[in-house]
Chain A
């Protein structure tokens, strides 16, 4: 026990003297949590749109002004040739094309129906989906405006329609920060747990101190505990900073469930992570190797976590 306590004291001394590690532990979580949620969101703005207007009528002008006024779209190109607009997509100047056919206004009034053509650049999948659906909803709104303007009450009343109204539970205003901030916090805890634990043990190998330790009668489990406990404590500490300091004070995120249960899960999660760190460190000879292997696992964890993909 005395040896373990001494090992822990030594470990903390080393961590607090490490000029590279210390800011990583205490400053990065706060900065990441303050800056990242501002940038990492799923809202798509400034979608560049090319409009091919073959009609040049009042209604087509109205539709175009409605699209540009929606705030999501930026008119990148306006013309009357689809191939020219397509070139803009190829040059990555625009993300989607809206083609308004000839006789748009005429057919809309005479035949009560008209089709427009939307071509979406689907290289960036999420931008394509969102852009397409935004545009779809703008056009639907335009459609509703047109109907209202013509004001043919009996036709509207005669059409049976189902209107769906939804409510967002737990996050009524769809504030993406409520999702991103805890997500980033877990990512940080994961990185600190796995990376630092692996790097710390490999460092002993690299400097050769592990040789010196090996010729002492110290027991294996005490040495391993002496390495894991400090990072377990640091993990819990970083999580608490994120939860109480940044999460609560800056973003107003307050856990509604049991805090105790949250910490119970955190401690089990950290034990698993430190185990991964320990495993990586046994197979790596240098910090560089450990870093690369840890990065490989981190990528999998991040992509599979559900933060960026579902």
Chain B
């Protein structure tokens, strides 16, 4: 059964001048961890805002749990959880107050759904009297996730949840997502990072408002036609020059730090066949 369905969704800004999303269609199955991967400005946030009933699509239709995003927006708002890319909880309320507030406006209580958020909440519980604005980035993330989960949503939308979060916290965050996914919550997550794509069950690559391909991460990597190599050397420019002169190499790019240290320099080489 499909939990989220998009059919030819279109969204334009400035009266049609800027096309943010054009003809996007995909389905997300129940209990799936689905990733929307694309660079900045690809239209990921626009799709999420249409799906969370914050924006009206200019064309096409979308539904969640069988409810249409335009007609049944009230039903959808009871059923989905949304965590925007920008931290948007009340900075002047404490951790506990934020959580209670969101539980109340969803007509539920923290106690009723404590089992769902417990694992995440225990990590921020020592700071429950602290104002949300005074939390560190990783803790803010966890609190925002708790608030998005407090009404036990069937579908959870996470818009770039790991942008601006350090590597360790990112890893932790993905582990939390995996565990939530195991509890049967359908999760849609958007990210500009390719390394996170492999952690999803299925991904959609999106660019300039169009879907490029939808498949499992393994299949997408398999489809890549040439082989990739990483080459390290201490003298970067000479290496780049030599490699570009080799006709077996289709293209090569410098990767990693180029200013601080000339050692441990990595190079990605695309070799045909």
- Does B91 touch A at the CB level, under 8 Å? yes
Bound CA–CA A7/B86 (angstroms) = 23
User: Helix, strand, loop or mixed for chain A's interface?
Assistant: helix
Within 8 A of B (CB), among A192-241: 207-209, 211-218
B53 touches A215 (CB 8 A): yes
Partner of B101, one of A6, A207, A211, A217: A6
Partner of A208, one of B88, B93, B97: B88
Partner of A10, one of B77, B90, B107: B90
- Does B52 touch A at the CB level, under 8 Å? yes
Within 8 A of B (CB), among A1-41: 2-3, 6-7, 10, 13-14, 17-18
B104 touches A209 (CB 8 A): no
A13 touches B88 (CB 8 A): no
B77 touches A215 (CB 8 A): yes
A10 touches B101 (CB 8 A): yes
A3 touches B91 (CB 8 A): no
- Give 19 new A-B contacts, CB below 8 A, not counting A17-B92, A212-B82, A213-B105: A3-B104, A3-B107, A6-B101, A6-B104, A10-B97, A10-B101, A13-B92, A13-B97, A18-B92, A207-B88, A208-B86, A215-B53, A215-B54, A216-B77, A216-B102, A217-B74, A217-B77, A217-B105, A217-B106
- Does B89 touch A at the CB level, under 8 Å? yes
For residue A221, give the distance in angstroms from its CB to the closest CB of chain B.
14
Q: Given A208-B88, A216-B102 in contact, is the A14-B107 Cβ separation under 8 Å?
A: no
On A, residues with C-beta under 8 Å from B are 2-3, 6-7, 10, 13-14, 17-18, 207-209, 211-218
- Does B232 touch A at the CB level, under 8 Å? no
A-B contact pairs, 11 of them (CB 8 A): A2-B104, A3-B107, A10-B101, A207-B91, A209-B88, A212-B82, A212-B84, A214-B53, A215-B80, A216-B106, A217-B77
Bound CA–CA A6/B54 (angstroms) = 24
Q: Which residues does chain B contribute within 8 Å of A218, judged by CB atoms?
A: 105
A217 touches B78 (CB 8 A): yes
Bound CA–CA A75/B54 (angstroms) = 71
Q: Which residues does chain B contribute within 8 Å of A208, judged by CB atoms?
A: 84, 86-88
Bound CA–CA A14/B105 (angstroms) = 17
Q: Given A18-B92, A211-B88, A217-B78 in contact, is the A3-B54 Cβ separation under 8 Å?
A: no
The residue in chain A whose Cβ has the minimal distance to the Cβ of B151 is: A216
B54 touches A214 (CB 8 A): yes
- Does B147 touch A at the CB level, under 8 Å? yes
Bound CA–CA A294/B77 (angstroms) = 33
Within 8 A of A (CB), among B100-114: 101-102, 104-107
For residue B183, give the distance in angstroms from its CB to the closest CB of chain A.
21
The residue in chain B whose Cβ has the minimal distance to the Cβ of A15 is: B92
Partner of B107, one of A18, A209, A215, A217: A217
